[in-house]
């Protein structure tokens, strides 16, 4: 006879936090959301710490390079989706790493014989207003000039105007020699009121740009997640089929952390992938695994070298795994069980393996609940799919702006590797849907509001850090009547402002 779990499987919506004592020090601005991303030993610190406990889902409709940059600016990290060619995924990773290197390799370059039409097209393609004009039109060619928005007026010039006629020529540029430090480069920018500073070698070949906006951006984003070279940190998804080819390419491109993207992680395929990474790279390459929903699944992945473990099967808004296969567990119950296993593992081995809660987040307060239940960080898909920076197109449906959002198990994504059980190389049936989510604007505006709510709730619980929240939080199950009572009720809501 099958084993039956005695506890009912619960969701986040069935819990509430009970307030605790809030001292005068408990103000939202004093709350730290720093949290470990990868495993560490007792007495040591995690090699990677998030400034905010959010990571983006490994999905085509969520985690491209633009969202990775925007999330790193807010202290979180994205996992670039792996359901694409190895070359494309590695290129996305490299794009993120180059974006904030301080010294940026130019990706907008033209020749002096090109035209204004080429300038306009390149700006539309890359979104960059500074274009290097080199002898051969490459990022490392002999620098002959620069074109910015100040060098041309579309309304006063014809598109066949040759660039050499309106560019700022080399002799009028302020440059710096190769080997200039970032501090000196920024001093030159400020002293000469520049927007960019070309770094050139002894033969006047362009090597890098240093941009004023990078310095300004850091001041606007104090929680930026940067590596030791001041570049944005980025993760990447891998599968259990082509990992031997994909992982080296992603490591070479600069990925800071990897994650096995699979609907179910308690498998021989994930064990083999983890062991291959440890054999080839030791502990230098960080890789998470999952997903699991119980103690046994956690210990299996932790014992096989996972740097973090993802929890959740069937709880995502676009996931229909529970419907199609009848497997999974309520996200809150699964998370509590796995976090208890993590703490037991830490006591036994002295190794702390962070837990990522993946799925089941509907409201902002569910993030706080997940953290209180033991999650070290949260992986979100639908939440990020709504923003400008997600790769999905924006559409107008009946006058309402929406973003397209599809699951990796949908026919649109056809990410068969994510659901692979060692069988045929195809997606035999769907485990995800193709949908829309309401457009919500910029990532930064939304994430900052979300975390103001999280910090505020943590203060209500008397906690100034995530470990304090996990230690001091008090949780209560609620009835359906309590859930109804918690919303607006027994009133007539205003539908429009009074004239």
Q: Which residues are catalytic?
A: 319, 418
The torsion angles phi and psi of 402, rounded to 5 degrees, stand at: -135, 160
Pairing state between β 309-311 and 351-352 = unpaired
Element (H, E) at 400: strand 400-406
* 8 Å CB contact between 240 and 272: yes
Buried b / exposed e over 94-121, threshold 16 CB at 10 Å, is bbbbbbbbbbbebbbbbbbebbbebbee
Q: Say how far residue 473 (Cα) sits from the centre of its chain.
A: 27
What residues pair up with 403 in beta bridges, in sequence order? 394, 437
DSSP 393: P
The radius of gyration of the chain's CA atoms, rounded to the nearest angstrom, is 25
Pairing state between β 355-358 and 377-380 = parallel
d(CA 114, CA 338): 59
- Say how many Å lie between the first and final Cα of the chain, rounded: 67
- Helices of type H across 212-281: 212-220, 243-253, 268-281
d(CA 144, CA 134): 5
d(CA 473, CA 19): 8
d(CA 227, CA 183): 17
């Amino acid at each position: 006879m099958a084993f039956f779990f005695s506890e009912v499987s619960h969701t986040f919506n069935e819990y509430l936090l009970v307030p605790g004592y809030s001292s005068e020090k408990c103000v939202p601005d004093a709350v730290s959301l720093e949290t470990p991303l990868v495993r560490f030993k007792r007495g040591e610190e995690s090699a990677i710490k998030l400034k905010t406990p959010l990571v983006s889902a490994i999905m085509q409709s969520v985690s491209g390079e633009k969202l990775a940059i925007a999330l790193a600016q807010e202290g979180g990290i994205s996992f670039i989706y792996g359901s694409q060619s190895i070359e494309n995924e590695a290129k996305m990773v490299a794009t993120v790493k180059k974006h904030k290197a301080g010294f940026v390799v130019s990706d907008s370059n033209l020749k002096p014989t090109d035209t204004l039409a080429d300038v306009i097209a390149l700006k539309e393609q890359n979104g960059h207003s500074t274009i290097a004009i080199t002898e051969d039109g490459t990022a490392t060619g002999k620098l002959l000039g620069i074109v910015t928005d100040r060098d041309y007026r579309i309304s006063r010039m014809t598109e066949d105007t040759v660039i050499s006629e309106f560019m700022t020529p080399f002799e009028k540029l302020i440059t710096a020699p190769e080997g200039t430090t970032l501090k000196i480069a920024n001093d030159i920018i400020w002293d000469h009121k520049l927007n960019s500073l070309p770094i050139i070698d002894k033969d006047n070949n362009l090597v890098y740009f240093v941009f004023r906006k990078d310095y300004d951006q850091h001041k606007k984003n104090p929680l930026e997640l940067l590596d030791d070279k001041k570049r944005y940190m980025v993760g990447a998804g891998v599968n259990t089929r082509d990992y031997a080819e994909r992982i080296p390419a992603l490591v070479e491109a600069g990925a800071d952390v990897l994650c096995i993207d699979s609907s179910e992680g308690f498998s021989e395929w994930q064990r083999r992938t983890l062991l291959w990474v440890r054999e080839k790279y030791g502990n230098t390459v960080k890789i998470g695994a999952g997903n699991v929903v119980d103690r046994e699944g956690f210990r299996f992945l932790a014992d096989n070298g996972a740097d973090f473990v993802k929890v959740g099967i069937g709880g995502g808004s676009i996931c229909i795994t529970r419907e199609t296969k009848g497997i999974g567990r309520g996200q809150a119950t699964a998370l509590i069980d796995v976090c208890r296993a993590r703490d037991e593992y830490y006591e036994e081995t002295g190794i702390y393996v962070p837990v990522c809660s993946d799925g089941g987040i509907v409201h902002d307060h569910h993030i706080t609940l997940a953290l209180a239940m033991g999650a070290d960080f949260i992986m979100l898909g639908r939440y990020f799919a709504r923003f400008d920076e997600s790769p999905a197109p924006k559409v107008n449906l009946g006058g309402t702006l929406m973003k397209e959002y599809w699951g990796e198990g949908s026919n649109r994504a056809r990410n068969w590797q994510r659901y692979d059980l060692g069988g045929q190389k195809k997606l035999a049936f769907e485990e995800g849907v193709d949908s829309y989510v309401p457009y919500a604007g910029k990532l930064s505006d939304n994430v900052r509001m979300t975390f103001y709510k999280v910090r505020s709730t943590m203060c209500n619980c008397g906690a100034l850090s995530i470990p304090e929240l996990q230690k001091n939080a008090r949780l209560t199950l609620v009835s359906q009547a309590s859930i109804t009572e918690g919303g607006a009720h027994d009133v007539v809501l205003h539908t429009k402002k009074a004239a």
